[in-house]
Protein backbone atom coordinates (compact mmCIF):
# COMPACT_ATOMS: atom_id res chain seq x y z
CA UNK A 1 0.00 0.00 0.00
CA UNK A 2 1.08 3.55 -0.64
CA UNK A 3 0.43 6.65 1.43
CA UNK A 4 1.44 10.28 1.66
CA UNK A 5 1.68 12.57 4.67
CA UNK A 6 1.76 16.32 4.23
CA UNK A 7 2.99 18.11 7.32
CA UNK A 8 1.18 21.37 7.91
CA UNK A 9 -2.31 21.91 6.56
CA UNK A 10 -1.66 25.66 6.41
CA UNK A 11 1.60 27.45 5.66
CA UNK A 12 2.05 31.23 5.53
CA UNK A 13 5.12 32.94 4.12
CA UNK A 14 5.96 36.52 3.27
CA UNK A 15 6.25 37.57 -0.33
CA UNK A 16 9.85 37.00 -1.42
CA UNK A 17 10.55 34.42 1.31
CA UNK A 18 11.40 30.76 0.89
CA UNK A 19 8.51 28.36 0.39
CA UNK A 20 8.88 24.89 1.90
CA UNK A 21 6.02 22.40 1.76
CA UNK A 22 6.68 19.02 3.32
CA UNK A 23 5.71 15.61 1.99
CA UNK A 24 6.65 12.17 3.28
CA UNK A 25 5.63 9.00 1.51
CA UNK A 26 5.30 5.31 2.19
CA UNK A 27 5.56 2.78 -0.60
CA UNK A 28 6.49 -0.90 -0.83
CA UNK A 29 7.69 -0.44 -4.42
CA UNK A 30 9.80 2.29 -6.02
CA UNK A 31 7.43 5.23 -6.09
CA UNK A 32 6.53 7.85 -8.59
CA UNK A 33 5.93 11.14 -6.77
CA UNK A 34 4.00 14.19 -7.86
CA UNK A 35 3.14 17.68 -6.69
CA UNK A 36 -0.07 19.23 -7.94
CA UNK A 37 -1.43 22.73 -7.32
CA UNK A 38 -5.10 23.63 -7.08
CA UNK A 39 -6.34 27.19 -7.36
CA UNK A 40 -9.79 28.06 -5.97
CA UNK A 41 -12.65 26.40 -7.82
CA UNK A 42 -10.31 24.73 -10.29
CA UNK A 43 -8.92 21.27 -11.04
CA UNK A 44 -5.39 20.06 -10.33
CA UNK A 45 -2.38 21.30 -12.27
CA UNK A 46 0.83 19.26 -12.36
CA UNK A 47 3.78 21.15 -10.86
CA UNK A 48 6.44 18.49 -11.12
CA UNK A 49 7.08 14.76 -10.92
CA UNK A 50 9.75 12.30 -9.85
CA UNK A 51 9.97 9.10 -11.89
CA UNK A 52 13.30 7.56 -10.75
CA UNK A 53 15.59 9.74 -12.85
CA UNK A 54 17.27 12.81 -11.30
CA UNK A 55 16.51 13.19 -7.59
CA UNK A 56 16.26 16.98 -7.87
CA UNK A 57 13.25 17.78 -10.00
CA UNK A 58 12.44 21.20 -11.41
CA UNK A 59 8.87 22.13 -12.19
CA UNK A 60 6.83 25.02 -13.40
CA UNK A 61 6.60 28.47 -11.79
CA UNK A 62 10.05 28.17 -10.17
CA UNK A 63 9.20 25.22 -7.93
CA UNK A 64 11.48 22.27 -7.35
CA UNK A 65 11.49 19.15 -5.19
CA UNK A 66 14.14 16.72 -4.03
CA UNK A 67 13.55 12.98 -3.68
CA UNK A 68 15.33 11.65 -0.59
CA UNK A 69 14.92 7.89 -0.32
CA UNK A 70 16.66 7.68 3.08
CA UNK A 71 14.16 10.14 4.53
CA UNK A 72 11.18 8.98 2.39
CA UNK A 73 10.59 12.63 1.61
CA UNK A 74 9.73 14.74 -1.41
CA UNK A 75 9.54 18.30 -0.11
CA UNK A 76 8.53 21.15 -2.42
CA UNK A 77 10.50 24.41 -2.40
CA UNK A 78 10.58 27.77 -4.11
CA UNK A 79 13.31 30.31 -3.31
CA UNK A 80 11.11 33.40 -3.47
CA UNK A 81 7.34 33.37 -2.93
CA UNK A 82 5.05 35.35 -5.19
CA UNK A 83 1.50 36.42 -4.47
CA UNK A 84 0.30 34.22 -7.32
CA UNK A 85 1.62 31.12 -5.47
CA UNK A 86 -1.28 31.28 -3.03
CA UNK A 87 -3.15 28.01 -3.58
CA UNK A 88 -3.64 24.47 -2.25
CA UNK A 89 -0.78 22.06 -2.89
CA UNK A 90 -1.12 18.29 -2.99
CA UNK A 91 1.58 15.67 -2.88
CA UNK A 92 0.72 12.32 -4.46
CA UNK A 93 2.34 8.92 -4.84
CA UNK A 94 1.79 6.50 -7.70
CA UNK A 95 3.55 3.55 -9.21
CA UNK A 96 5.02 2.44 -12.47
CA UNK A 97 2.39 0.16 -13.88
CA UNK A 98 1.11 1.12 -17.28
CA UNK A 99 -2.66 1.16 -17.33
CA UNK A 100 -2.85 1.16 -13.55
CA UNK A 101 -1.72 4.58 -12.42
CA UNK A 102 -3.85 5.14 -9.34
CA UNK A 103 -2.63 8.14 -7.35
CA UNK A 104 -2.82 8.39 -3.58
CA UNK A 105 -2.98 11.99 -2.42
CA UNK A 106 -2.09 13.73 0.78
CA UNK A 107 -4.56 15.96 2.56
CA UNK A 108 -3.09 19.11 1.06
CA UNK A 109 -1.31 22.23 2.28
CA UNK A 110 -2.91 25.63 1.85
CA UNK A 111 -0.23 28.21 1.10
CA UNK A 112 -0.91 31.82 2.02
CA UNK A 113 1.40 34.62 0.88
CA UNK A 114 1.68 37.65 3.14
CA UNK A 115 2.27 40.92 1.27
CA UNK B 1 -3.94 20.49 -27.70
CA UNK B 2 -7.12 20.51 -25.70
CA UNK B 3 -6.84 19.31 -22.14
CA UNK B 4 -9.19 17.03 -20.25
CA UNK B 5 -12.74 18.30 -20.44
CA UNK B 6 -15.60 17.53 -18.07
CA UNK B 7 -19.30 18.23 -18.14
CA UNK B 8 -21.29 19.64 -16.56
CA UNK B 9 -19.24 22.11 -14.50
CA UNK B 10 -21.82 22.34 -11.74
CA UNK B 11 -24.78 20.21 -10.77
CA UNK B 12 -27.42 20.31 -8.06
CA UNK B 13 -29.37 17.17 -7.21
CA UNK B 14 -31.58 15.98 -4.39
CA UNK B 15 -31.10 12.91 -2.23
CA UNK B 16 -32.05 9.66 -3.93
CA UNK B 17 -31.56 10.95 -7.45
CA UNK B 18 -29.10 9.65 -10.02
CA UNK B 19 -26.31 11.61 -11.70
CA UNK B 20 -24.08 11.09 -14.74
CA UNK B 21 -20.80 12.94 -15.12
CA UNK B 22 -18.83 13.00 -18.36
CA UNK B 23 -15.18 13.23 -19.23
CA UNK B 24 -13.21 13.54 -22.47
CA UNK B 25 -9.50 12.69 -22.19
CA UNK B 26 -6.57 14.34 -23.89
CA UNK B 27 -6.27 13.15 -27.48
CA UNK B 28 -4.20 9.97 -27.60
CA UNK B 29 -4.72 9.10 -23.93
CA UNK B 30 -6.36 5.72 -23.45
CA UNK B 31 -6.59 5.75 -19.66
CA UNK B 32 -9.18 7.66 -17.65
CA UNK B 33 -9.41 7.87 -13.86
CA UNK B 34 -12.06 9.35 -11.60
CA UNK B 35 -11.46 10.96 -8.21
CA UNK B 36 -13.75 12.43 -5.57
CA UNK B 37 -12.56 15.50 -3.67
CA UNK B 38 -14.61 16.40 -0.64
CA UNK B 39 -14.20 19.97 0.57
CA UNK B 40 -11.01 20.38 2.55
CA UNK B 41 -9.54 17.00 1.61
CA UNK B 42 -7.31 15.49 -1.03
CA UNK B 43 -8.77 13.63 -4.01
CA UNK B 44 -9.78 10.01 -3.42
CA UNK B 45 -9.48 7.44 -6.18
CA UNK B 46 -12.77 6.00 -7.45
CA UNK B 47 -12.08 4.17 -10.75
CA UNK B 48 -9.55 3.74 -13.50
CA UNK B 49 -10.36 2.55 -17.00
CA UNK B 50 -7.86 1.60 -19.66
CA UNK B 51 -8.87 0.53 -23.14
CA UNK B 52 -12.49 0.27 -21.94
CA UNK B 53 -11.62 -2.17 -19.17
CA UNK B 54 -11.81 -1.41 -15.46
CA UNK B 55 -8.27 -1.51 -14.10
CA UNK B 56 -8.84 -0.28 -10.59
CA UNK B 57 -11.59 0.52 -8.12
CA UNK B 58 -11.30 2.51 -4.93
CA UNK B 59 -13.19 2.05 -1.69
CA UNK B 60 -16.55 3.35 -2.87
CA UNK B 61 -19.99 1.68 -2.66
CA UNK B 62 -21.66 -0.05 -5.57
CA UNK B 63 -23.81 3.04 -6.10
CA UNK B 64 -20.79 4.33 -8.01
CA UNK B 65 -20.17 2.93 -11.48
CA UNK B 66 -18.34 4.00 -14.59
CA UNK B 67 -17.64 3.03 -18.14
CA UNK B 68 -15.34 3.99 -20.97
CA UNK B 69 -16.39 4.31 -24.57
CA UNK B 70 -14.56 3.35 -27.79
CA UNK B 71 -13.40 6.96 -28.20
CA UNK B 72 -11.90 6.73 -24.65
CA UNK B 73 -14.35 9.21 -23.15
CA UNK B 74 -15.88 8.12 -19.88
CA UNK B 75 -18.96 8.44 -17.71
CA UNK B 76 -19.24 8.24 -13.95
CA UNK B 77 -22.66 7.30 -12.62
CA UNK B 78 -23.83 7.65 -9.06
CA UNK B 79 -27.18 6.20 -7.96
CA UNK B 80 -29.28 6.94 -4.89
CA UNK B 81 -27.40 10.12 -4.08
CA UNK B 82 -26.57 10.91 -0.47
CA UNK B 83 -25.72 14.26 1.08
CA UNK B 84 -22.18 12.96 1.55
CA UNK B 85 -21.75 12.59 -2.20
CA UNK B 86 -21.46 16.36 -2.46
CA UNK B 87 -17.96 16.93 -3.78
CA UNK B 88 -15.78 17.95 -6.68
CA UNK B 89 -15.47 15.03 -9.08
CA UNK B 90 -12.23 15.06 -11.01
CA UNK B 91 -11.39 13.16 -14.14
CA UNK B 92 -7.80 12.53 -15.20
CA UNK B 93 -6.35 11.06 -18.35
CA UNK B 94 -2.94 9.51 -18.70
CA UNK B 95 -0.51 7.95 -21.12
CA UNK B 96 2.22 6.59 -18.90
CA UNK B 97 2.73 7.50 -15.29
CA UNK B 98 1.45 11.09 -15.31
CA UNK B 99 -2.19 11.97 -14.82
CA UNK B 100 -3.59 15.21 -16.21
CA UNK B 101 -6.70 16.51 -14.53
CA UNK B 102 -9.76 18.24 -15.85
CA UNK B 103 -11.46 21.20 -14.14
CA UNK B 104 -13.92 18.93 -12.34
CA UNK B 105 -17.66 18.76 -11.86
CA UNK B 106 -18.94 20.24 -8.62
CA UNK B 107 -21.91 18.21 -7.37
CA UNK B 108 -24.16 19.49 -4.61
CA UNK B 109 -26.70 17.09 -3.15
CA UNK B 110 -29.55 18.70 -1.21
| C-beta atoms of B97 and A90 within 8 A | no
> Which one-letter DSSP state was computed for residue A98?
T
Assess contact for A2 and A25: CB atoms under 8 A.
Answer: yes
Name the residue facing A107 among B41, B45, B50 (closest C-beta).
Answer: B41
- In angstroms and rounded to an integer, the radius of gyration of the C-alpha atoms of chain B is 13
| Res. A97 pLDDT band, cuts 50 70 90 | low
Q: How far is B78 from chain A (nearest CA, A)?
A: 20
Q: Per DSSP, what are the bridge partners of residue A11? A: A111
Put simply, whether A98 touches B (Cβ < 8 Å) is: yes
Q: What is the pLDDT of residues A11-57, one digit of tens each?
A: 999 999 999 999 999 988 788 899 999 998 888 999 999 987 788 99
| C-beta atoms of A98 and B96 within 8 A | yes
Q: Strands A10-14, A109-114: parallel, antiparallel or unpaired by DSSP?
A: parallel
Q: What is the pLDDT of residues B63-72, one digit of tens each?
A: 999 999 999 9
Residue A56: its pLDDT value, please? 95
Assess contact for A21 and A10: CB atoms under 8 A.
Answer: no
Residue B1: its pLDDT value, please? 61
For residues B101-106, average pLDDT: 95
In the three-class reduction of DSSP (H, G, I as helix; E, B as strand; rest coil), residue B40 is classed as: coil
Q: Could you tell me how many CB contacts below 8 A there are between chain A and chain B?
A: 68
Residue A99: its pLDDT value, please? 55
Amino acid sequence: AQSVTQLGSHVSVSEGALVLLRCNYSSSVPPYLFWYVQYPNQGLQLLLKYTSAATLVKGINGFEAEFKKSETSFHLTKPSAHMSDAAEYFCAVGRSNFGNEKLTFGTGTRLTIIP
Amino acid sequence: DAGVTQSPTHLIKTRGQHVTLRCSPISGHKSVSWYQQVLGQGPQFIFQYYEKEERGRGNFPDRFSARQFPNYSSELNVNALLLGDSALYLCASSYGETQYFGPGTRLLVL
